[in-house]
Amino acid sequence: MKLLRLFSRRTFTASEFFRVASLGLFAVLLLHVVVAAVNHRLSWSDGSSIAAGLLILLYMSRRKEYELRLEHQALHDVLTGLPNRRCLLRKIDEAIIAYREQSAHLTILLCDVDFFKSVNDIHGYEFGDKCLLELTRRIAAQLGPKDFLARFAGNGFVILANVDLTDAKQKADAVLRAVAAPLVIDAAMVKLQVSIGIAPLDEHHESPSDLIREADTAMHQAKESGRNRAEVFDVTLRGQSARLAQMDAALRFALERNELALAYQPKISLIDGSVKGFELLLRWNSPQYGVIPPHEFIPIAESSGMIMPIGMWALEQACKQLKAWESRDGGNALTIAVNVSMRQLLQASFLNEVTGVLQRSGVNPASIELELTESLAMSNPLQTIETLVQLKKLGIRLALDDFGTGYSSLAQLQKLPLDVIKIDQSFVRGLGSGNAGDAAIVRLIIALARSMNLDIVAEGVENPVQIVQLTQLGCSLGQGYAFSASLNAEEAERLFRSKQRFRVT
């Protein structure tokens, strides 16, 4: 069959051509020998023809063996021996065709080992490899004869099961249970767990990557909802995830195409109403999507890693702007606050890059403030604290953003080398609306910040009643539409040069 298919094609690879030619030659020789044998005339030359034929046959089978070995290597993972990503893509391709022809059920389960990097970091890569081998064995033991298991990326496995969603969920539960049992390797005991994303194949899937992307989205959802669990891809997210993927692609070029802009929102002293500084806020003017708010594109930039160059660019612009204002006189008492994502802070090169930007610009580090969100700063305290301490040594000021929305304890808070706490807008909004609870929380935060000798910025101040209450509560700075929305650089400069005082009583 395979040979017939080969003959029916118009183009051949070199090895296929050789195989066809040798087969043809062998067939001619065989025919010659058979005719000679029938006529009882088997001469020397016939004998050598047989020998040549056998040699060719031997050569062909060896060559085939070699080709098969190469093919196996190209399609299998060296460590686990499982089919690799390439093989998986082929298999999904076949499944898509089978689905179109006979609606055959197929569900993909993408299993990603949680915290696997820590296992490698703590115990070493050799230990990590042994864990993966044991995991392979445990997952394989949960599969039916028709299921297909592949290794997918570093610490991921993919199961293709010819079952519907209900059975796939049961299979996922079985895998979760099998993986969770403690694992003893080289006298060390570890507990591993996986997060699983499940996506059933349907008529919307045109290529293997469509299906894998959906399983990946579900897997990340499983991670976000606490890990060590399985989540099914929500098909209502389909349009959304396509839009996100397109935005992600466009955002990768936004910086070099000058589509990003910066806005400056003033921070006002609640003591004398003067402008003390600005918070730098990113804007994306996409020719394709229009103006995209940061809460939409920052998460995309964080997940793709584009936040690193974008964040560093923002910091660089802040430094340049401060220098320019200083050189024109009048801007030397100002601070500019730059938002920093946790993803940036956790990157090993962050500290060096910040140092480089500060040195190149020649700006006074004390006029730069970095804003970190509370929940993120607390989720990885040890590593974060070390980086923050180093940043402080550079002379930079550090602010805790959105305070009150996370779960930081007083003890954790005291370990962070902070200069400023920013009270989240949600509490400020409650001031003046008769919400006694919010007022009590704001009072508590202000008391806490003062006891720690920190500056306090109230965010999202929208009306005079809030301004008066904040002033009475002893809050040092305010920021919000009651004073000013964000401005472009020229407007910001005009504002602080005018020496305007906002009303704060």
Binding mask 407-436 for ligand C2E (x = CB under 6 A): ------------------x-----------
Quote the least distance from Cβ 387 to ligand C2E, whole Å. 15
C-alpha–C-alpha distance, residues 453 and 338, integer Å: 22
Quote the least distance from Cβ 425 to Ca ion, whole Å. 7
Quote the least distance from Cβ 315 to ligand C2E, whole Å. 9
- Contacting ligand C2E (CB under 6 A), which of 81, 293, 299, 395? 293
C-alpha–C-alpha distance, residues 376 and 419, integer Å: 17
Quote the least distance from Cβ 375 to Ca ion, whole Å. 11
Q: CA torsion, points 313, 316, 317, 323, in degrees to nearest 10?
A: -170
- Contacting ligand C2E (CB under 6 A), which of 273, 294, 309, 474? 294
Query: Please, which residue, 250 or 399, has the CB nearer to Ca ion?
Result: 399
Quote the least distance from Cβ 278 to Ca ion, whole Å. 11
Query: Please, which residue, 142 or 344, has the CB nearer to ligand C2E?
Result: 344
**Per-residue H/E/C for 276-295:** EEEEEEEEEEECCCEEECHH
The token duo for 378 is: 């607390």
- Contacting ligand C2E (CB under 6 A), which of 194, 334, 480, 496? 480
Quote the least distance from Cβ 324 to ligand C2E, whole Å. 19
Quote the least distance from Cβ 469 to ligand C2E, whole Å. 15
Residue 457 interacts with, from Ca ion, ligand C2E, none (CB under 5-8 Å by kind)? none
Asked if 477 and 267 count as a contact pair (C-beta separation under 8 A), the reply is yes
Quote the least distance from Cβ 494 to ligand C2E, whole Å. 19
Please identify the residue of the shown chain whose CB is closest to the bound ligand C2E: 480
- Contacting ligand C2E (CB under 6 A), which of 341, 367, 384, 466? 341
C-alpha–C-alpha distance, residues 51 and 9, integer Å: 31
Query: Please, which residue, 49 or 265, has the CB nearer to ligand C2E?
Result: 265
148-152 and 420-423 beta bridge pairing: unpaired
Rule CB under 6 A: which of 237-266 touch ligand C2E? 265
Residue 287 CB coordination number (10 Å): 9
Quote the least distance from Cβ 401 to Ca ion, whole Å. 4
SS3 408: coil
Query: Please, which residue, 152 or 483, has the CB nearer to ligand C2E?
Result: 483
Quote the least distance from Cβ 261 to Ca ion, whole Å. 17
Which helix (DSSP H) or strand (DSSP E) does residue 444 occupy?
Answer: helix 436-451
C-alpha–C-alpha distance, residues 268 and 278, integer Å: 9
Amino acid (one-letter) located at 145: P
Closest CA to 46 of 36, 56, 31, 58: 36
Binding mask 387-406 for ligand C2E (x = CB under 6 A): --------------xx----
Structure letter (DSSP) for residue 163: S
Quote the least distance from Cβ 263 to Ca ion, whole Å. 12
The token duo for 212 is: 């894998």
- Contacting ligand C2E (CB under 6 A), which of 195, 466, 476, 486? 486
Q: Helices in 141-228 by DSSP H: which ranges?
A: 165-180, 208-224
Count of residues near ligand C2E by CB under 6 A: 24
Residue 384 interacts with, from ligand C2E, Ca ion, none (CB under 5-8 Å by kind)? none
Query: Please, which residue, 355 or 375, has the CB nearer to Ca ion?
Result: 375
**Residue 311 touches ligand C2E, criterion: CB under 6 A:** yes
- In terms of Cβ atoms closer than 10 Å to its own Cβ (0-12, 13-18, 19+), residue 401 is buried
**Residue 321 touches ligand C2E, criterion: CB under 6 A:** no
Rule CB under 6 A: which of 7-66 touch ligand C2E? none
Query: Please, which residue, 258 or 327, has the CB nearer to ligand C2E?
Result: 258
Closest CA to 49 of 62, 60, 35, 38: 35
- In terms of Cβ atoms closer than 10 Å to its own Cβ (0-12, 13-18, 19+), residue 448 is middle
C-alpha–C-alpha distance, residues 431 and 435, integer Å: 6
- Contacting ligand C2E (CB under 6 A), which of 80, 155, 321, 339? 339
- For residue 166, give every residue at least 6 positions away whose Cβ sits within 8 Å of its Cβ, in sequence order, or none: none
Residue 480 interacts with, from Ca ion, ligand C2E, none (CB under 5-8 Å by kind)? ligand C2E
Binding stretches for Ca ion (CB under 5 A): 339, 371, 401-402, 459
Residue 474 interacts with, from ligand C2E, Ca ion, none (CB under 5-8 Å by kind)? none
Q: Among positive and negative, which fits the CA dihedral 478, 481, 483, 485?
A: positive
The token duo for 210 is: 């469509």
C-alpha–C-alpha distance, residues 368 and 320, integer Å: 11
- Contacting ligand C2E (CB under 6 A), which of 95, 108, 139, 282? 282
Asked if 368 and 331 count as a contact pair (C-beta separation under 8 A), the reply is no
**Residue 107 touches ligand C2E, criterion: CB under 6 A:** no
Question: Which spans of this chain sit near ligand C2E (rule: CB under 6 A)?
Answer: 265, 280-282, 293-295, 298, 311, 314, 339-341, 371, 401-402, 425, 459-462, 480-481, 486
